[in-house]
Structure formats: structure tokens, C-alpha cells
Structure 1
Amino acid sequence: MGTGQISGPAAEADPTARRREQRGWYFYDWANSVFATSVLTVFLGPYLTEVAKAAADADGYVYPLGIPVRDGSFFAYAVSASVLLSVLVMPWAAAVADRSGRKKPILAVSAYIGAAATAGMFFLDGDRYLLGGLLLVVANVAYAVSVVVYNAFLPQIALPHERDAVSSRGWAFGYAAGSLVLVANLALFLGHEALGVSEGEAVRICLASAGVWWAVFTIVPLRRLLERPVAREAGAAGGPPEQEGVRAALGGGWRQLAATLAELRRYPLTLLFLAGFLLYNDGIQTVITQASVFGSAELGMDQTTLIGAILLVQVLAVFGALLLGRLAQSYGAKRTILGSLVAWTATVSAGYFLPAGEALWFFALAAAIGMVLGGSQALSRSLFSQLVPAGKESEYFALYEISDRGTSWLGPLVFGIVYQLTGSYRDAIISLVVFFVLGFVLLWRVPVRRAMLAVGNTPPERI
């Protein structure tokens, strides 16, 4: 270890050094959230769909790898493919990071691969839908790996009583960056004629600028985050720790995941919560990634309206998270999450009936999404933290992150299949209600106080 590095838990670090490291950690949320917001949520879906339409035959089909796909379903299928691939890559990457103790190189490689693929979207024009699909898959897989490693730093840089605040500030940095860049994107898009660029060129500049932003601000956490030595397990084979960790990790990702899953069966109530979370979170993620396609293709909203709506979601998500946090203090996290799922169900159902061309109603839908978005996710994470055995938080949260993305292919797949069968984005959006309803039922069946006691935790007064 080099001079000045923290060699033990966060508790052993100097408070000033710990706060400096925490501030550096926040900046990776600041760096990567623009990809999630500007690229996945706003620009890429409608634009890649238009590119696919330019390449489609007279019947509206494109043929990636010879498979007939409706042009309107291509983006949803590409998202599903990227999530499935990320599930295969994340356990291996997480094992390498944990067992070698070298998180920063993996964070750097994954972040810059993702940033490069995103910047490469500048060249996505004409009928290059296959290039767009490939860049989406590469960028989204790299993003997923980097977020797993990024989250793994949290227990190392914050004391237990600090983690809620530190994690919340990271979320706030991400929302702030997304809002800031969306304002700049909107200015570019509205003023593209005055700048002498076409609408398509403006969109491609916005896509590529997200990659540049990601690359530039990743420098901050890479400079400030510190590596820790690997805690050796009893009975581990000999050899230098770094080499031993890397060798073990090469085949250990899936073994580690299997061991965690095997132990999780000892806690069926925790598993039941996780199953419910996977379902309703899949619905949330699909609404986020497909809302812009629904707004543009089904409701006829222009790009300016879409950007404004997503910006509204970003801003209100901050206030919604604070509001749901206050409600949880009075009614408990479980009841508050259940209430948010009722709101999600009502919101998605209302989307089915939205009149085309009515921007005001689309903004109302965006406002409803923003008010439940941040809170439902933040409270789910905090409630899950109460349902895992003490001393194994990182191991279980690694599974949580893998599981978070592990079923996020199912919602886009259902969305794409329903559109392919019906040709209606209204039918596709209403199909997502099943994820919120099933998630509600499973969460409602979890006796959280008993689940906390089963893993050895003391339940708080309000749960």
C-alpha cells in the first residue's frame, strides 16, 4: 500500500480523509448519471428507433442476425440483450474486484469503455441501426459493471451511521448532473438551426457529449478513492494476495454467486422480499427506458417536450425521495413502498389513456413518475439493508445489484413483444402493470419484523 492510503475499515480513517474520499465518490454518480438520463432515458430510444425505421423493409421489419424484428421493437430488444449480458459479466468483475482488492482499475476500465462507446454514438446516422445496437450493448454492460464496483466502495468510505446520508448525496449528485446536462441538451436542440446543425446532428452531439462528460468526471473518483487490502479467508491457498485473488476470481464469480444464493435459502423471507423487489423494480426500469419511445411514437411528443418531461422527473425525484422518506418515518418503509406501488400502478394505467398531442397531460404523467421514482428505490434499498445478516452486507448488496439488473431484461422484452404482436405502444405500456401488481403482492406478504429477527437484526421502531 502506498503512503496515505487507508489500510483498514472506514472507522479507522481520519475524518478529514474520509470526507475527502466521500466527496470523490459522489462524483462518479455525477459522471455516469448523464448516460442513464440523457442517453438511455431521453435521446437514444426515439433516435435509434428512427434509424431502425430508415433501415426497415416495406413491412416495417429489420433483420439483425437474420431475425425479423419490428423497427419499433429494436431498441427494447437491444436493452434486454445488454442487461442479460451484464448479468453474465458482473459476477466475474465483482469477484475480481473483491478478491484482488483492486477496484479502481476495474472501475476505470469499465467507465472508459462505456464512455467511449457512448461518445461513438456520434457516428450513429443514416440506417446504422446495428451500430447503434452494438454501442448500446457495450455502453450499458460497462455502465453496469462500473456501478457494481462503485457501490462496493460505500462500506469502505463511510461509517455505518453515515451511509444513508452518503448514499443519498450520491443520488442527489446524479439527479443534479442529469438535470444540468438536460438543460444544456434542450438549449442545443432548440437552437440547432441557429448553430447550423440538423436535428439529427444535434441529437448525436447530445449522445456523444454524455460520453465525454462521463470520461472527464470519472477522473475525480479515480484520483480520490483508495484501495484496501484484501481480507484473507481462513484456509486460503498460498501465494501473493493480489495474484491469489485474481486467480481465484477468474473462476470464482459464479461460485461466489452460487454460495450467496445457497445461503439466501436459509432466509426465505429475505428471498421473498428480493423476489418482490425484482418484479416491481423491473417495471420501474422499463418505464424509465421506454417512456421516451412511448411519448414520441404513440403520443406524438416532440423532442423538446420529451426533454422537458424528463427534466421534470429528475427535479421532482429529489423532492419525492424526501417526501417518501418522511412518510416512512411515520408509517414505516414497507407501507410507504406499498403505497408507492399503488401510485406506480395508477400512473402507468393512466398512461394508457393519455390523449395524443396533449403535452400538458404528458407533463402530468412525468410529474407523477418523478414523485415516486427516487423514494421507491431509495426505501427499497434501505429496507433490504435490514433483511441481510450483519457482517455480510457487501456480499448481499452485490447480489442485490446483480438482481436489480438481472430481471430488468424481462420488462423491455414484454414491452417489445406486446408491441410486436399488437403494433400499439399503449398496449405495451399497460402490460407493465403486472410487474407492479405482482411486486405489491409479494412485498405485502413479507412480515418484515420477523424477517429482520430471522437474520439476527433488531427491528427499528417503525418498519
Structure 2
Amino acid sequence: MDKRAIKAWIMYDWANSAYATTVLAAVLPVFYASVAAATLDADTSASYLAYTHSIGMLCVALLTPLLGTLADLSGRKGDFLKVFSIIGIIATLGFSIIGEGDWLLASALLVISTIGFAGGNTFYDAMLPDLVSAEQRDMISSKGYAYGYIGGGLLLAVNMLMIQQPGWFGMGSTLAGTRLAFISVALWWLVFSIPLFRHAPRRPASPDMPKSWKGYAGVGVRRLRQTFRQIRRFPQLMRLLVAFWFFNDGINTIILMATIYGTSIGIGTADLMLALLLTQFIGFPCTLLLGAWAQRWGAKQVLMVSLSIYICIVILGYFMTSAIHFYLLAGLVGVVQGVSQSTARSLFSNLMPAGRTGEYFGFVNITGKFSSIFGPFVFGWVGQLTGSTRWGILSLIFFFAVGIAVLLTVKVQQGMSDAIQANQEEEHGWVLHPISGKGSEARSTG
């Protein structure tokens, strides 16, 4: 076990979480509306920002399964992560030069930075089985999310001061402070990614690895088609994936819609931002603590408890009326958000063949991105139908309830056995028929 690589892997979450908190959640939405799209009316600018997010995630969904396949063939997930990270860092730095009315440039940079951020995370997640054994993945995965909360929260606190008190940093205006915040995110992401750039684990290259980029594309496409067929060999992984489609959609909808929902019921911007900070700092110890519980009692059990708490959050959110209530709910989200995501990640890694984690995490990524359109749609549709966003937030119970119900059917030990068996067959060059499960004398093509 390479302790330097493990520490570097954990530190990467510290590094790129600054983009998630400062750029995606806190600063960019306001900057886009007030500066980049200042020449557009409010409704149009909001629509353009939503379309931009959709385009970015669609690009990620289409790219990462193929790139994950290529990363598995080459054994160099770290190299792919480095490329995507640098793409995201450069695009984030570009936000600092956007002027009034430059909404098209801002949208282009957001698409590119989204590809860099989310694409890099696909390879980051896929590294986990290369770093530690199955028994340690719950704890290490939780540490990654926990340190991400602290890293993203610390820089967000500094960025808020840059924007609200620009004079403290030698800036003459709030706009200048905002530009400095974007620069700080890019530098933070770069500096704290260097350890993983240097110490990322490598697996031996596949014997099917082509000699040219043209050959890479051909083998990658063929292997991707295999993934869609052969994933049916792993019924426990498929059940977990279906459960993930539902409960992850609920979690993402809460993340995306919390600020809008709070605003709609009269909670001020300052309270919303402070609540976001509260979530980050509560998330750090709780993710570590519950990650340790997952290692002791099982990731599936802890995940089910966290999803049950999300149902309570949704119900309490329906009755929320004041900023104090929003702070309390933000604290509850901090308790369960990190551990729900980290235990899901470790469960996936345990149920996947070790030699195909990049490919399979790419599959999880693309299907998860497409499934994530339904939660916000249901939230908006129910809110519009009833005339109240309260009913919209309450509708999310459906996603968590279905996710828990399907998760109950997942047999973790059986799924781990299936993955180990498949990996042994892969090492010996044999494949199973994707439907019957019977042996085939065809040599594996990767």
C-alpha cells in the first residue's frame, strides 16, 4: 500500500472542491447574472446559465465512458486526470477576464471547466480500487469527501471576504474581488493537485493496448459496447446502479435547488451563503465519523440510514419558514451528504471488476448524468402545478424512497464475489457470455 499515493488522492478532493463550492455553488451564478449576462434580462440570463450546465454535463456524459475505457487499457488513470484537471484549471482562470456582456465567453468557459472538473472526477473515483483493498475503501473514500468539505469551505470563506471586503486584499471593488476569487480557485486547485499528479497509481497496460491513437479509439469504442452488454453479468451492481439513479437524483436536486427554494420563501442571500459554509464544516467530522461506522457496520447499512435522514430533511424543508430552520437543515445535510456519496462510491468500487473501474465508473457517470434531469424537472413541475415550491421539495421523497427500496435488494457479498470472479477470468484471457454467463473460448479484447 502506497501511503503517499493515498494521501495525494485524499488531497485532490481538497483541491478541486474549491471549484464546486466557490465557482458552481456560490460565486459564478451571481457573477454570470450581474456581469457576464448584464446586457440580458434576468429570465434570459438564468435560462442561458441552465442551458450551459446542461451542455457541459452532456459533454461529460458522452466523453468519460470512452476515456475511462482508454484509461483502463493504458493503466494511466493519473495521466488522464491530470489532463482534465489542467483543462478545468485554465478555464476557471479564464473567468477572471470576463467583462460585462461576455455571456457567450462565460458559457464557453463554464462548459470547458465542467468537462475538466467532472471528467477528472471520473478517473479520480476509478483510482480507489488501485489504492486500497476492499476493506479500507469505505474509510478512505470518506476521508476524501471530508477533506473536500474543509478545503472547499476554507477557500469559500476567504473568497467571500475577497468579494465583501475587497480592500483587505488590495482590490478596489467587489468586481475586482470576484475576479481575484476565481484566480484563487484555479491556483488552489493546481497546487493541491500536484501530489496526485506525481504519485497517482499505475496499473500494467493491457496486452490489448493499441499502438496508435486511431487504434485506441477503435478498441475503446468496442470495449464500451462490451460494457453495455456485459454489465448485465453483475446483477448486484445493476441493482446498486438503479438505486443510485434515484437517490443520487434526489441528493443532486437538493444541492441544486436549495438556494432557489430558500430564496422563494424569503431567506436572504447572506444567510444562504453562511448556511453553505455551515454544511462544509459540519460535513468534515461527520463524513469521517460515519465513514468509520461504514467500515465497521457496512457501507450499505450506513448509506440506507443517511438516505432515511434525507427523507426527514425533505419533510422538514416543507415546513421551513425562517433562516434558523434553513441553518438547521443545512447542518443535517452536512451530516449525511458526504457519507452518502462516499459510501456509494466505495460500494460501486467493490462490485466492479478491478481491471475495468475506469470503464464502469464512466458508465455510472453517463447514466447518472442522464438520470439527474428528472429530479429538478419533477421539483419544478410539481411546484408549478401546485403553485408552491414547498410541494416541489416534498416530491423528492419519491426518489429517496425508491432508492432505499432498490438498495435493500442489493446483496453486497454476492456482488463482490461476482467482481472477483470476473477479474480472475479477465486475467486469464477468458470472457463470459454476457447473457448466459457460460464460458467462451474467445480471447478477451479488453
Shared fold, TM over 0.5? yes
The aligned counterpart of 1:100 is 74
Give the distance between the partners of 1:143 and 1:111, measured in 2 at CA.
6
Distance 1:272 1:105, change over 3 A: closer
Which stretch shows the higher mean deviation, 84-93 or 255-264? 255-264
What does residue 196 of structure 2 align with? 221
The one of 274, 281, 286 equivalent to 1:308 is 274
Tell me: CA distance 1:122–1:429, structure 2 relative to 1, closer, same or farther (3 Å): farther
Going from structure 1 to structure 2, the CA distance change for 1:377 and 1:25 (only over 3 Å counts) comes to closer
Residue 366 (structure 1) shift: 0.6
What are the residue-to-residue correspondences of 1:350-365 with 2, within 5 Å? 350-355=316-321, 358-365=322-329
What per-residue deviation string (whole Å, max 9, x for no partner) do you get for residues 195-228 of structure 1?
5543344334323321222223333322333654
Deviation at 1:351, TM superposition (A): 2.6
- Cα distance change on mapping 1:116 and 1:395 into 2, 3 Å: closer
Give the counterpart letter for 2:84 in structure 1.
S
Contact 1:344–1:369, Cα closer than 8 Å, also in 2:
yes
* Alignment check: 8 A CA contact 1:99 1:248 kept: no
| Equivalent in the alignment of 1:111 | 85
SS at match of 1:211: helix
Aligned mates of 2:307, 2:128 — CA distance in 1? 28
Shift of 1:416: 6.0
Q: Give deviations 1:104-133, integer Å, cap 9, x for gaps.
A: 443232111111111222234534333333
* Aligned mates of 1:325, 1:158 — CA distance in 2: 15
Unaligned runs of 5+ in 1: 1-14, 63-70, 234-240, 458-463
Please state whether the residue corresponding to 2:223 is helix, strand or coil.
helix
1:265 counterpart SS class: helix
User: For 2:112 and 2:387, how far apart are their aligned partners in 1?
Assistant: 28
* Residue in 2 that maps onto 1:147: 121
Say whether residues 1:257 and 2:241 are aligned partners: no
1:343 aligned partner = 309
CA–CA distance in 1 between the matches of 2:133 and 2:412? Answer: 25
Moved more, 204-213 or 154-163: 154-163
- Which segment drifts farther, 414-423 or 40-49? 414-423
Correspondence for 1:439: 403
The alignment partner of 1:84 has SS state of helix
Structure 1: distance between partners of 2:319 and 2:221: 44
Native 8 Å contact 1:277 1:439 kept in 2: yes
Tell me, yes or no, if structure 1 residue 299 matches structure 2 residue 266. yes
> In structure 2, what is the equivalent of residue 461 of structure 1?
none
Equivalent residue of 1:139, what SS? Answer: helix
1:151-200 Cα offsets, whole Å, 9 max, x none, are 33333344555544443333333222112212212332332366554334
Distance 1:215 1:313 in 2: 24
Pairwise CA distance, 1:31: 1.8
User: 303, 326, 330: which is aligned to 1:366?
Assistant: 330
Identify the residue that residue 206 of structure 1 maps to in structure 2. Answer: 181
Q: CA deviation at 1:367?
A: 0.3
Point out the structure with the larger helix share. 2
- Of 346, 370, 379, the residue aligned with 1:382 is 346
1:3-152 equivalence runs, <5 A: 18-50=2-34, 54-57=38-41, 61-62=43-44, 71-152=45-126
- Judging changes above 3 Å, is the alpha-carbon distance between structure 1 residues 61 and 323 closer, same or farther for their aligned structure 2 residues? same
- Whether the 8 Å CA contact 1:34–1:181 is kept in 2: the answer is yes
Distance in 1, matches of 2:298 and 2:7, equals 30
* TM-score, scaled to structure 1: 0.78
CA distance in 1, matches of 2:84, 2:390: 36
Q: Do the aligned partners of 1:111 and 1:146 also contact (CA within 8 Å) in 2?
A: yes
Q: Which residue of 1 aligns with 2:251?
A: 284
Give the Cα separation in 2 of the matches to 1:297 and 1:202. 28
- Give identity over the alignment, percent: 36
Is the partner of 1:378 in helix, strand or coil?
helix
> Do the aligned residues in 1 keep the contact of 2:250 with 2:396 (CA within 8 Å)?
yes
Provide TM-score, normalisation by structure 2.
0.81
Paired residue for 2:215, among 248, 270, 273? 248
Q: How far 1:278 moved relative to its partner?
A: 1.5
**CA RMSD of the aligned region, Å?**
3.3
